[in-house]
Structure 1
Amino acid sequence: MASNVLTPILGVFLLVLAVLYQTHFSTSIWAFAGLGRSLDLNLTSRAASQCQSYPELGACEDGWMHEDSGLLYLACSSIEGRRNWLPTMDRLNAAKRPTTDAVYVVDTRGSGSFASRVNKIQPTNFDGINGDATLNLHGIAVLEVASKPTPSEGDDLVMDASYTPPTLYLYLNNHRPPMDPSTGKLLNAAKVGANSTVEIFKTTLGDKKMEHVRTYTSEHIHTPNRVAPISPDSFLWTNDHAVKVGLRRLMSYVSNDGSVGYCGPSGCKIVADKLGYPNGIVASAKPNQFWVPAMREGKMKLFEWQPKDQSLVL
C-alpha cells in the first residue's frame, strides 16, 4: 500500500526536478562547471614555460592597461589571504584576512628585470580600518582624464620633459571586514557579511602615490563585483548576489537576483536587477554602453546608460 502511494509522489518529484533542470539548473551547471569546454594543453605548457613568478602579484583580481605607455595597473592580494577572506566566494574568516593588499603598476615595455619594472602605489589620505590604511581588494577600474595635447592616432607616446601625464581615477572594490563601531572589534562575518565599499583614488600616470578621494558606502553596495566609471565622481557597479549571507545567497547560483547599481554625488541606487550572477561590468567602445556578463544565464548583456534620468536600459 505504501509503495502505491509513494510511486506517484516520486514521479511528481522527478518531474519537478526535470522541469527545474531545464529552466534553471542546466545553464548554471554548464556555465559554472565549464562543461563542454576544451583545454589546449600545448598552449598551457608553453605559457607556463614563459612565465615568471613574482609573489607580490600572486592574487591580482583585475587590471587596467594604459595603452599609450604600456603601464599596467593591478589590484593585488595574497593567495593565502584570499583562501581566508574573499567574500564573493563565501570565504569569511576576517581574522585571517590579508593585510598587504595593494595596487601595483607594471611597466610592460620597459627594459631591465621584471622586478625593476614593478612598483607599489602608496595610498595617501586614507585611514582604512581603525587607521591602519589597509585595503581588501577585489578588482580595479580606471578613468583616464587625458592631458592636452594627446598623441595623434598611430603616434607613439614620448614621455619626456614636455609631457604632462594624464590624471587617473582608480575605483577599487574594498571588501572591508565588519566591525563594531563602538569597540572596533571584528563581528562574525559569517553572520553579517562583509562591509564592502567602493574607494576612489586619484593619481597621475606613472606616479607611485594615489590620493584618496572618497569612500562610497551604501545599503545597495552589498556584494560588489566590479566597477565601471562614468565620471570622476560617478560609476556603475555589479552586485553578484542579492544578499551578503544566508540561504537566499545560496539560491543566487540558481536564480537571477544579481543587479547593477549607480553611485553619484547624490547617492547610490539599483538601476538594473534580475541578473544571473553578473560577474563584472565593462564599458563598450561606444559611449554610454556597458557589457555585463550574466554567468548563470550564460549570456553577455549590453546596457545603455541614460544620463538624463540616470537609468540603465537593456
Structure 2
Amino acid sequence: MAIIVTALVALLAIVGGALFPAGRTFYRLQQENRGLQYTADSSCKLVQDPLLRGCENGALHAASGQVFFACAVDLETRSKWFPPAHLLDREAAKEPKGAIVVLDLKTTKARKLDLHNFTPSFHTFGIGIAPSRSDPKSIIISAVNVGLDGNSIETFTHKIGDKHATHVNTFRDEKLLHSPNDVVPIDEDSFYATNDRSKAAVGSLAWGIVGNLGWSKAATVVYKGKDGKARVVADKFTLANGITTSADQKHVYVVDTMAAIVNVYERRHNNGLRLRDTIEVPVLGDNVAVDGSTGAIYVSGVIDIMGCLKDIPMKSPCLSGVVKVTNNTGSDQLYGKKFNADVVHTEFDRVVPAGIAAVDHHLKKSFVAGWHGGVVVCDKVF
C-alpha cells in the first residue's frame, strides 16, 4: 500500500508540475519541510498591544532598536477592504485605521506615528526605511497605500524619537505600479517597489489565480527616480512581493512568493538591476530583511501551504516560519551549493502567517510579525 501511495503522490506531482509551474514549487516545499512542526520557544513572547495588529511588514532601524511597522490595526476593516486580495467593500474603506507603528525592541512599547501634512485614506501593508542624507538623526519612510483614492507610494521623513512623520510626496503610476506590494526607499526622491501582478489580474480574481499558478510571469520591480519618472528594472516574477536593500544599498533583494525564491540584484550606476543570484527557500516567502552586521537574509512566509491559504484573507492558525539564508561554507559548496536556507523559527497561532522577521545584535533580540495576530519578540538572535 505504501508503494502505491508513494507512486500516486509522485504521479500527482508530475501532472501538477506540468499543468501549473507552482505545482513544482509546492512539491519542493512539501519535500523540504516533511516532518517540520511548530516548536514553542520560551524566549519568544507575544507583545500585547492593540496597535500591533496585522503588521504584515516592518523595517528595523538598527541604530535605535526600533521597528517601523505598516499595520492594519483594525483587522475587521482589512478583512473587508484589501484590493490585492479582491476584498472591495468601499464602505469599510471609508474609515481607515491603518498606521505606521513604531515598536521599541528594548521596552516592547509601541506608538502610532502622527502623519503630518497627510490626509488621504491610509491602508498600508508594505514599508521600507532608509537613512536621511541631510540629517543623520532622521530616516526616510516609504509605505504602500491601497486607499480609496487608488494605489500609491507615500514617502515621509521622521526624526528618530519624534512622535510624528512628515509627508514628503505621493507617487502614483497606474501603468507601471497598478498593484504595488512593497517598497524600499533610496532617498527622499527615489525608491524601488514591487508590482505584484499583471494589470489584468488587478480587476479579475481568475487572472490573479492564473498568475499565481505560474502561467503568467507579469510581476515586476519598478524604480522611481529623482526626475519623478518610473521604469521597470526587473521582470518575469510570478508574484513579486517583499523587497529590501543591503545596508550599503548596493544590492536589492526581491521575494518571488509563488516560486519560493529570493532574487539578489546588484544595483548599477543608472539604478538598473543586474541579477546575481537566485536562492530557493523552503517557504512561500512574504517579506525579506537583511542583517546589516552579517549579511544573512531573513525570509518569512508560509510552510503549510494548504493550511495557510485555505481562507483569504489568511485568518486560520497555520504553520509558518522564518528562514535564514547564509553563505554555504560546507564541503558541498564544491558541488554548486552556494547558500544554506534553514527554518530557524516557526509560528502557528500568534502570527498568522509569519510575514517579516529581523534581528538586532546589539539588543540580542529578534522579532516576527504577520498578516493577522500580533508581533512576537524573542530574547535571542535567530
Q: Same fold (TM over 0.5)?
A: yes
Work out the CA distance in 1 between the residues paired with 2:43 and 2:34: 19
List aligned pairs for 1:35-184, cutoff 5 A: 36=33, 38-43=35-40, 46=42, 50-77=45-72, 78-97=74-93, 99-110=96-107, 114=108, 117-128=109-120, 134-145=121-132, 166-178=137-149
Q: Given that residues 147 and 166 in structure 1 are in contact (C-alpha distance below 8 angstroms), is that contact kept between their aligned partners in structure 2?
A: no
User: Which of 202, 206, 212 does residue 161 from structure 2 map onto?
Assistant: 206
Q: Which has the higher helix share?
A: 1
Work out the CA distance in 2 between the residues paired with 1:38 and 1:146: 48
Q: CA deviation at 1:36?
A: 3.6
Q: CA deviation at 1:292?
A: 1.0
Indicate the SS of the match to 2:143: strand
Count of residues paired in the alignment: 255
Tell me the equivalent position of 1:6: none
Q: Which amino acid in the other structure matches residue 115 of structure 2?
A: P
Q: CA deviation at 1:32?
A: 8.6
Q: CA deviation at 1:51?
A: 2.1
Instruction: Please give the TM-score of this superposition, normalised by the length of structure 1.
Output: 0.72
Structure 1 residues without counterparts, runs of 5 or longer: 1-13, 129-133, 149-164, 179-194
Q: CA deviation at 1:147?
A: 8.0
Q: CA deviation at 1:19?
A: 7.7
Distance 1:105 1:31, change over 3 A: farther
Query: What's the RMSD between the two structures over aligned residues?
Result: 2.8
Tell me the equivalent position of 1:225: 181
Q: Point out the more displaced range, 219-228 or 298-307.
A: 298-307
Q: Which amino acid in the other structure matches residue 303 of structure 1?
A: Y
List aligned pairs for 1:15-34, cutoff 5 A: 18=15, 21=18, 24-30=21-27
* Superposition misfits of 4+ residues, deviation over 4 angstroms: 30-35
Structure 2 residues without counterparts, runs of 5 or longer: 1-10, 276-382
Q: CA deviation at 1:207?
A: 0.7
Work out the CA distance in 2 between the residues paired with 1:223 and 1:41: 33
Q: Given that residues 28 and 253 in structure 1 are in contact (C-alpha distance below 8 angstroms), is that contact kept between their aligned partners in structure 2?
A: no
Residue deviations 1:115-166 (CA, integer Å, cap 9, x gap): xx322110111121xxxxx311112101112788xxxxxxxxxxxxxxxx61
Q: Given that residues 71 and 206 in structure 1 are in contact (C-alpha distance below 8 angstroms), is that contact kept between their aligned partners in structure 2?
A: no
Indicate the SS of the match to 1:225: strand
Q: CA deviation at 1:261?
A: 0.4
Q: Which amino acid in the other structure matches residue 66 of structure 1?
A: H
Indicate the SS of the match to 2:241: coil
Tell me the equivalent position of 1:274: 236
Indicate the SS of the match to 2:113: strand
Work out the CA distance in 2 between the residues paired with 1:127 and 1:35: 47
Instruction: Please give the TM-score of this superposition, normalised by the length of structure 2.
Output: 0.60
